[in-house]
Amino acid sequence: MQVTAVRQVECPQCGARRSISIPSDDVELKPGRSDAAFDERRRVTCSNGHAYWIQVR
């Protein structure tokens, strides 16, 4: 998959920011659902150890 953009996301539990790579700059990022299609989400682990999904579409 080609990566063309990097976005900052915020942990919903503690607010720590992380950068994630996304396939396009023209997407909406929102807290993800674990049942979303795999290529439409990113699993993020923040610096405090919280894991969450970001939906990318």
Q: What Cα–Cα distance (Å) separates residue 17 from each residue in 4, 6, 25, 36?
A: 20, 12, 18, 22
Indicate which single residue of 4, 19, 24, 48 sits in contact with Zn ion (rule: CB under 5 A).
Answer: 48
Indicate which single residue of 4, 39, 50, 51 sits in contact with Zn ion (rule: CB under 5 A).
Answer: 50
In the complex, what is the shortest distance from the CB of residue 11 to Zn ion, in angstroms, rounded to a whole number?
3
Site string for Zn ion, 7-26 (x = CB under 5 A): ----x-xx-x----------
Residue 39 phi/psi, 5-degree rounding, is: -80, 5
